[in-house]
Amino acid sequence: MKICIIGAGHVGLVSGACFADLGNEVVCVDVDGEKINKLRKGIIPFFEPELEELVKKNVKEGRLSFTTGLEEGVKESGIIFISVGTPSRDNGEADLSYVEDVSKRIAGAMEEYKIVVEKSTVPVKTGEWVRRTIKLNNVHGVDFDVVSNPEFLREGSAIYDFMYPDRIVVGVESERAEKVMRELYEPLKASLIFTDIKSAEIIKHASNSFLALKISYINAIANVCELVGADVEKVAEGMGLDKRIGRSFLKAGIGYGGSCFPKDIAAFIKIAGESGYDFELLRVAEKVNREQREQFLKKIKDSLWTLNNKTIGVLGLAFKPDTDDVREAPSLKIIEQLQAEGAKIKAFDPAAIETTRAVLKDIEYCADPYEVAEGSDCLLILTEWEQFKNLDLKRIKSLLNNPLILDGRNIYNPRELKNMGFTYIGIGIKPEI
């Protein structure tokens, strides 16, 4: 099939490369000319495991190309995916101006029947607006269908998630579109669920919100564990073995971040409110998430007393491992707060130093974790990169001013660290002091 993907970002580029690898002819369109030039040279604009190889392979084999020419991409293709950003506005609602802009331009370029697919995460009823916008700007008066096909991939495992999805959700309103979408996804042999467009839109917001709720729930449990001297890691294990609960997304920490959960939960609360339902449950999940960071900061202050002129070593900047993405990363907010209190920050991340450099000032970036530890008054673990789990902790201890580790991701064994002479403070675990 001939596919045009508009928005060559974390979702668009991954989807484009995967659809091409499944044998389709794909053109990825982006307004960012620099990004398109890089892609044409084989340079991937962000870090995602295995993406570079997949893009290069499919470009070489002639199934994947890049352009800034939206009109040309639309004309050549039968299915048009919209995967542009839908960021948060100040009041929490999703900014749909990119989706609107793209919908108008698609409409102007359509010369024959097209299927226009919302892949960006959008609030319920956006499909209606997309249809209305295309209808108003449909200069050639051609037939078209709007489809909602939300994406559930995670950064860091995006290609695997796309190729082996738990389910594919497709909101359609015509048999013609349903048939094409079924054929498109047939090679993945995945569970396909067809719904109306509004239900598909809600499935996406409801899924992300549920996962965020699960994280806030285990973080709330972690707080109780700290107060009574229990161990949240054991509690999560014991809960997670119940198949109805499940083990995933029960990792206590410094709260969820990233470009999606914070904005999608805010957008879902907003659209529910506008529709007449006060989604208090999700507002509490947001509050727990905010407080999780604040409590971590309090633990740092309780351990170091004053922060002015103290040197704090930070391991991990990305919002999660295996990505260079720092959008809404808990690390950024924690570092900003520490800097505001006069602390000096030394930091290392295996992938996210450049992306952090673009948004934060006055950080001393180091070449590895040992350089971070040297002369620092404590060490913070803010992202659970695999590399940090295998450090030479004896060496780390010899380099630190104080043998103090505050672990926002619970990657170490508290007993082992205590036996090595560290003061180790995690999340929801009894401090081994």
Direct distance between the N- and C-terminal alpha carbons of the chain, in angstroms, rounded to an integer: 62
Residues 98-127, interacting with ligand NAD (CB under 6 A): 98, 101-102, 120-121
DSSP E strands in 149-265: the ranges are: 168-171, 192-195
Q: How far is the CB of 155 from ligand NAD (least distance, A)?
A: 5
Among 24, 83, 148, 292, binds ligand NAD (CB under 6 A): 83
Instruction: Using the minimum distance from each CB to ligand NAD, give the nearer residue, 122 or 221.
Output: 122
- Closest Cα partner for 430 from 418, 312, 301? 418
From the list 4, 225, 260, 366, the catalytic residue is 260
Residue 18: active-site member: no
Q: Which helix (H) or strand (E) segment is 55 a member of?
A: helix 51-60
Among ligand NAD, ligand UGA, none, partner that 208 touches (CB below 5 to 8 angstroms by kind): ligand UGA
Are 159 and 16 within 8 A, CB to CB? no
Rounded to the nearest angstrom, the gap between the alpha carbon of residue 136 and the centroid of all alpha carbons in its chain is: 34
Among ligand UGA, ligand NAD, none, partner that 12 touches (CB below 5 to 8 angstroms by kind): ligand NAD
Among 4, 17, 26, 30, binds ligand NAD (CB under 6 A): 30
Burial profile 205-221: b = 16 or more Cβ within 10 angstroms, e = fewer: bebbbebbbbbbbbbbb
- Closest Cα partner for 84 from 103, 111, 109? 103
What sign does the CA torsion over 429, 298, 339, 288 have? positive
Among ligand UGA, ligand NAD, none, partner that 256 touches (CB below 5 to 8 angstroms by kind): ligand UGA
262 binds ligand NAD (CB under 6 A): no
- Which tokens sit at 183? 């054929």
259 binds ligand NAD (CB under 6 A): yes
Instruction: Using the minimum distance from each CB to ligand NAD, give the nearer residue, 25 or 155.
Output: 155
* The total number of residues written for the chain in this structure: 433
330 binds ligand NAD (CB under 6 A): no
Q: Is 112 exposed, middle or buried (0-12, 13-18, 19+ CB in 10 A)?
A: exposed
410 binds ligand NAD (CB under 6 A): no
- Closest Cα partner for 22 from 174, 165, 194, 166? 165
Instruction: Using the minimum distance from each CB to ligand NAD, give the nearer residue, 96 or 221.
Output: 96
Name the residue with the smallest CB distance to ligand UGA: 260
Q: How far is the CB of 218 from ligand UGA (least distance, A)?
A: 7
Neighbouring CB atoms inside 10 A of 346's CB total 20
Instruction: Give me the residues that bind ligand UGA (CB under 6 A), please.
Output: 121, 151-155, 208, 211, 215, 249-251, 253, 256-258, 260-261, 319-320
Residues assigned a catalytic role: 260
In the complex, the residues that contact ligand NAD under the rule CB under 6 A are 6-12, 29-32, 35, 83-86, 98, 101-102, 120-121, 151, 153-155, 259-260
